[in-house]
Amino acid sequence: MSKLWVLLKTDAMRGTLAYYLLFVCMGLGMGMLGPTLPSLAEQTQTRVGQLGSLFLAGSIGVVAGVMLGGRLFDRVRGHPALGVAQLISAASVLFVPLIPSFWLLMVVLAFKGAADGFINAGANTLLVWTHKDKSSPYMNGLHFFFGLGAFLAPFLVAQVVEIQGGYRWAYWALAALGALAALRLLTLKHSPQPQHTEQSSAEEGTRVYYPLVIAAALFLFFYVGAELAFSGWIYTYAFTLELANATLAAYLTSAFWLSFTIGRLISIPLAMRIAPQRMIGVALLGCLSILSVALVLPASSTLVWIMAPVLGFCMGPIWPSGFTLAGRSLKLTARVSGIILLGDSFGGMVLPWLVGQVLDVTGPQALIYLVFASLIFNLAAFVAILRFRQTAPDQAVVVSAS
């Protein structure tokens, strides 16, 4: 215990735990939007299907935040920058349940998305800089805490959804936690920096191997699109098809995020023993298998309660394993992490918005087809990464922004 206490008091672990708290807040914000869509529709006098544009607005903000983070984190102290971004995110959350205008709500969520995108780019990059070649289990841990927050969010909403205007308290509790996380980052004295060695200096000016970078970005694009589309719309899917009432539909979303979190938790020790490419292959096979069953069998309450947790468990390890695989294939700097994370940002923009548009036309059944198709393309991008890793020139490393 004394060794553990000494480890937790190091600058590296203080920073790591702060990043974990940021990702708890990010997961809470992500998991809270889906179950509160009907309440936000009533608040803004808007059709539920039209609220798919909220995902689009948030994702546009995320793209801007990732691009900004990719340019800044090589140049500024990371912890103060993360703290300021988290304050902006917390302030945005505070106002979400108070805004009667749909268009103004989109603007606020775009600002929150920009702050979250900046945090996403920064925390992932700073974690790699902190732990270097030993970052794999810490990366899985970081995204475990995202899943933990996303699991707790719909559970929190379910406790207050029956109260008149109760969903507002869920947002305000998140805003308070986000403010505390920001203050923690602002009080950390030391920020990790990229390594500058003679070898890295000699590599300045070498060219980026773009096929591998693009394949990694597409991998995140299709995975995140599937994850956010399913988690964001499974509540509406189950409720609209009368497979669950309002409270049970919120718990269904929690079941997805709980199994998602368990999958990431289990992947932390596995990451020390199993190559990320093997973990990704097994996880994708599980995702496609359960969705294939859902495509063949008619929708039922039993099936949706099996599908949601199984899909969540299998999805859990994919993102951190994919980013770790990219880190082992390329020289990650803040700039290149930002390029790859743009795939994450655009993925969160396109498919959740598309599901909302299709639901208005064809009905909620389209959710399963679109998520399945996205994961098929995710598999294709994964195969491309493996191929380009083998054919990449030895000197095709990613250089630091300057």
| Domain residue extents for the chain | 10-186+208-391
Q: What pLDDT score does 125 carry?
A: 83
- Say if residue 368's pLDDT is above 80: yes
- Say if residue 245's pLDDT is above 50: yes
- Say if residue 158's pLDDT is above 90: no
Write down the CATH superfamily of domain 10-186+208-391: MFS general substrate transporter like domains (1.20.1250.20)
- Say if residue 334's pLDDT is above 70: no
Low-confidence winner among 9-13, 99-103, 187-191 (lowest mean pLDDT): 9-13
Structure tokens at 60: 């546009």
Highest mean pLDDT among 191-195, 204-208, 295-299: 295-299
Q: How far apart are CA 139 and CA 105, in angstroms?
A: 32
Indicate the SS3 state at residue 67: helix
Angle at CA 364, nearest 5°, toward 302 and 109? 110
- State how far Cα 247 lies from the chain centre: 25
SS (H, E, C) 104-171: HHHHHHHHHHHHHHHHHHHHHHHHHHHHHHHHHHHHHHHHHHHHHHHHHHHHHHHHHCCCCCCHHHHH
Q: What pLDDT score does 164 carry?
A: 66
Q: Is the pTM of this model over 0.75?
A: no
Angle at CA 143, nearest 5°, toward 142 and 146? 105
Q: What pLDDT score does 87 carry?
A: 96
pLDDT digits (tens, 9 = 90+) for 60-89: 888 889 888 877 877 788 899 999 999 999
Residue closest to 174 by CA, chosen among 57, 91, 257: 91
The DSSP symbol for 206 reads P
Residue closest to 324 by CA, chosen among 259, 366, 272: 272
Structure tokens at 339: 């390029």
- Say if residue 328's pLDDT is above 80: no
Cα four-point dihedral sign 147, 152, 155, 161: negative
Q: How far apart are CA 257 and CA 255, in angstroms?
A: 5
Torsion of CA 151, 154, 158, 161, to 10 degrees: 160
Structure tokens at 399: 């250089």
Angle at CA 206, nearest 5°, toward 203 and 207? 150
Residue closest to 104 by CA, chosen among 170, 57, 49: 57
Residue 277 CB neighbour total at 10 angstroms: 17
Predicted confidence band at 8 (pLDDT cuts at 50, 70, 90)? low
